[in-house]
């Protein structure tokens, strides 16, 4: 049991697991920000431009609600407006991730293209060579 506990501890403390956990938490918070941005900033002007349409309320009635004695059966809707909001939200998140990956890749290319300083032993050998030439 203690071996399994120590293996789990080594796994959980490893940098990649912690980085992943932080990424998931930040991603969840970013998703809420994007959802609010879509619902509260992007879609209202689009709905206004389309004649005052509120996308959240766009739906098609598939089956009307009924009451059978004391039993109430709720109506069934196809909420395509909520789906439109989700698609726009996805496109924005995908675009932001694309920009982030593109920026990271550009920074990596700059690091790879930058001349690397000579290693200490190479520099030492170069100095010895120069001294021997004198």
Report CA-CA distances (Å) from 1 to 6, 13, 72, 89: 9, 18, 54, 46
pLDDT of residue 118: 62
Domains of the chain, earliest start first: 2-133 (1.10.1200.120)
What pLDDT sits at residue 60? Answer: 92
Find out whether 74 and 12 touch, Cβ atoms under 8 Å.
no
- Specify the pLDDT at position 102: 92
The answer to whether 118 touches 127, Cβ cutoff 8 Å, is no
Sign of CA dihedral 41, 88, 93, 77: positive
Cite the DSSP H helix spans in 1-134: 2-13, 15-37, 43-49, 80-113, 120-133
Question: What's residue 5's pLDDT?
Answer: 83
Which pLDDT belongs to residue 22?
83
Long-range Cβ contacts of 122-127 (<8 Å, 24+ apart) = none
Q: What is residue 111's predicted lDDT score, i.e. its pLDDT? A: 78
CB 81 within 8 A of CB 56: yes
The span from the CA of 132 to the CA of 121, in Å, is: 16
Nearest-10 Cα torsion for 19, 15, 103, 119: 170
Instruction: Return per-residue pLDDT of the chain as tens, 134 residues.
Output: 788 888 877 777 776 777 788 888 988 888 888 888 888 888 888 878 878 777 778 899 988 888 888 888 888 999 898 888 888 888 888 888 888 889 988 888 887 777 766 667 788 888 899 999 98
Q: Are 47 and 84 in contact (CB under 8 A)?
A: no
Q: Which residues contact 46 (CB under 8 A, 6 or more apart)?
A: 55
């Amino acid at each position: 049991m203690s071996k399994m506990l120590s293996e789990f501890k080594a796994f959980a403390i490893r940098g990649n697991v912690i980085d992943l956990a932080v990424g998931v938490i930040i991603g969840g918070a970013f998703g809420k920000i994007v959802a609010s941005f879509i619902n509260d900033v992007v879609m209202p002007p689009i709905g206004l431009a389309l004649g005052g349409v509120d996308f959240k309320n766009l739906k098609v009635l598939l089956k009307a609600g009924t009451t059978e004695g004391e039993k109430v059966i709720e109506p069934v809707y196809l909420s395509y407006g909520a789906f439109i909001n989700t698609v726009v939200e996805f496109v924005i998140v995908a675009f932001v991730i694309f920009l982030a990956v593109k920026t990271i890749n550009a920074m990596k290319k700059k690091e790879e293209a930058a001349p690397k300083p000579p290693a200490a032993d190479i520099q030492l050998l170069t100095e010895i060579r120069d001294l021997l030439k004198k």
